[in-house]
A and B are shown apart, each in its own frame.
Chain A
Amino acid sequence: MDKYLPYIMVAIYLIAAFPILKKAVRNIRHGEIFDENFLMTVASIGALILGEYIEGISVMVLYRIGEYLQDRAVARSRESISGLMDIRPDYANIEKDGELVRVDPSELAVGSVIVIKPGERIPADGEVIEGFSSLDTAAITGESLPRDVEPGSEVYSGTINLNAVLRVRVTAPASESTAARILDLVENATSRRAKAEKFITKFARYYTPAVCGAAALLMVLPPLLFRQPWSVWVSRGLIFLVVSCPCALIISIPLGFFAGIGAASSRGILVKGGNYLEALTKVDTLVFDKTGTLTRGIFKVASAHPADGMDRDGLIELACLAEAFSDHPISRSLEDSYGKPVDRSRVSEAEEHAGHGVSATVDGRRISCGNIKLMRSLGIGCEESSEPGTAVYVAADGRYLGCIVISDELKPDSAQAVKELKAAGLKKLVMLTGDKSVIANKVASELSIDEVYGDLLPQDKVEKTRELKKELPEGRILGFVGDGINDAPVLAASGLGIAMGGMGSAAAVEAADIVLMNDRPSDVATAVKIAKKTMRIIYEDIAFSLFVKIGVLILAAFGFANMWLAIFADVGVCMIAILNSMRALRVN
């Protein structure tokens, strides 16, 4: 039996190793010698020659199991961002001779009319010309509440029509549609590499040949110079070869970045590249735009000051009814504050005073509702409000009833965002705005923002950003967060541009490095957390892999390491690094 053992072992080896051997031979023919297939081939054949059959076979079997697990891990992370890729529309319906015909969205011309049935994905950006429905925009904006659309509303490709048939006039070709832009952004993300990733790629190119050279010297020199036994030193050299495989780093680092980018995109945060994830961890100063970024840009009743004999609810009710026939934003904010359905039958003879306000007869009383100029023109004496915001004064039959202040409202998570960003280690938070300094200061103090600059023109914002950037120490980064409207120059001037509000402005998305699909400032904090976690994982991978490998190399040189330890230092370390990288996928 013993006589046949070597043949049986070699046969098992060949079955186990065939795919690797094939690759190694092919790569050598292409002039790529020092790849992992080659290293494994030399090491395992070397082990066979030394009579260490089990080791030789194990090297290959474990290496292949490792490869398989790696493939699975990579495939899984690929799938995890495919949810985002799901926004690609498959077809569009157009009407032809009274019948609906399915066409490829890329064939749609600007101006053509498409029909979208309930449940279908909107295939192109366009404007509704017929139909009332609501859209599920979660895939594009991350917003979970459906958005109502009516004739005249803009619709984005990639969103889903929920209720009723819509007719939509296409306004952008498929290649420039919202869905196409998002897909393009995500697909390009892994092509922008972080410094850590570039370092590893370069490192691997020198490291592998260097270790191979060291292995060769280790095999040859001691026996030649010091008459040491060949088998001992060749065996140690083979261990070197197995350990030297850099795959732990080459796979786990890009995978870590990819997982981080994937985790971010699952939260509606599109990071345009691993380098921006890296940059995010180096931000010291973060500059915010105010309106639309920290505040909603939507107006709401901030306070009501009823005159003697009036109460708050009565004042708002009267104002709301008087404004019932106006489509001014103020009317909507009053209605929101009133909170009950508006009974328009109580209102008659509504009249608009352009630039001043409205008058209407409510329950038989003549109500006037508007700014201070309206009150003056009606000869009504009242005190002018000094509160930040828009003041609406209300009078009935010439008697002053009170005043309601309507102002832009902070986003519900702005304060939380500021707190979380500070906790995440950002040094300075700054707010820039074109708004009045009074309002700006109030907002900043409510949010405990460190520095605030109001009354700025767009070009002042760029200038201010540059100044703040100069104050930073070398290597630290200034980030800018804006809602994208008029922000493109500032986004470009900052070290790291973050655009909020999804696909609001194509120019901003182009200029930004990170795009937040949601309107939430707290997503900036989430992005920072994801970035920090990802970078920590990547440095862990690098440190752990190098530590184990160099440790085993040293042990091997002195004869304290066997082939099993070497296999662990290669495949085992690789798997641990990959599993560690996959942690970047989870956000808590």
Chain B
Amino acid sequence: MRKSFEVKGIDCPNCAAKLERNIQKIKGCEDAVVSYATMKLTLEADDDKFEKVLDEACALTRKLEPEWEIVR
């Protein structure tokens, strides 16, 4: 499954790249792209693991930067 989510608070391209690198490291995540241009996270993972990966990505985002938030 591949799905896009809005990410609030990303204010520089490096921040987007950083978030992307970190989300890609989550176990079960097939692909993650954070676009600064669209303020979107596109996440790809197996259907049955998707929710778990997304939960982890949300927690990770908050940890990296309290101002960032993935809108689910």
Contacts and interface: CB of A to CB of B under 8 A. Distances in A.
Contacts of B40: 187, 190-191
Summarize A's interface: helix, strand, loop or mixed. helix
Interface string A185-208: 001101111000000010010000
27 contacts: A26-B65, A30-B18, A30-B64, A35-B14, A36-B12, A74-B37, A77-B37, A187-B38, A188-B4, A190-B35, A190-B37, A191-B33, A191-B35, A191-B40, A201-B17, A204-B17, A247-B12, A247-B13, A250-B13, A250-B17, A251-B13, A254-B36, A254-B37, A255-B37, A257-B37, A258-B37, A258-B38
B14 A32 contact: yes
Contacts, number: 55
A73 B67 CA distance: 22
B25 to A, nearest CB: 13
Contacts of A188: 2, 4, 42
Contacts of B18: 30, 32
Nearest to B22: A30
Interface residues of B, number: 18
Interface string A242-265: 000001001100110110000000
B37 A78 contact: yes
Interface of B: 2, 4, 11-14, 17-18, 33, 35-40, 42, 64-65
A184 interface: yes
A545 B39 CA distance: 24
Contacts of A193: 33
A210 B11 CA distance: 25
Interface string A219-249: 0000000000000000000000000000100
Given A193-B33, A251-B36, A184 B14 contact: no
B30 to A, nearest CB: 12
Interface residues of A, number: 26
A451 interface: no
A71 interface: yes
Contacts of A77: 37
A254 B4 CA distance: 17
A187 B4 contact: yes
A16 B12 CA distance: 18
Contacts of B11: 71
A30 B33 CA distance: 20
A201 B14 CA distance: 9
